[in-house]
Amino acid sequence: MAIELNRDNYETEVLKSKECVLVDFWGPQCRPCLSLMPAVERLEHTYTGKMKVGKVNASENRMLCARLKVMSLPTFLIYVNGEESNRLIGDGVTEKDLIAAVEAVLR
């Protein structure tokens, strides 16, 4: 199950993580976000033990989104050793794009 991230646990769960982390910024009114949720869940299961997945409900975490410069949804951030290594933005993001981005950092 993806970790529910917020301003209180983002540093610990993402920035201090020894694992690669995929962070999904989504919103309950964002259709592309909702349509990608099953893909994100598949990624989580496929890469168990190699990567962790976190979700940020953007409507409940506006300050965190502003701090991270997340301006549109969906946005996916990939972190390696606490550093952002990739950012995928917009309703054009596909499951294939997510897989390619994750595979690139796990090699």
Given a contact cutoff of 8 angstroms between Cβ atoms, the answer to whether 25 and 81 are in contact is: no
In the residue annotation, 20 being an active-site residue is answered as no
**List 3, 20, 21, 33, catalytic entry:** 33
Give the residue among 85, 4, 74, 81 at the shortest CA–CA distance from 39. 74
Q: How far apart, in whole angstroms, are the C-alpha atoms of residue 32 and residue 27?
A: 9
User: Does residue 33 carry a catalytic annotation?
Assistant: yes
User: Among the options 30, 37, 80, 105, which is catalytic?
Assistant: 30
First vs last Cα of the chain: how many Å apart? 24
Residues labelled catalytic:
30, 33
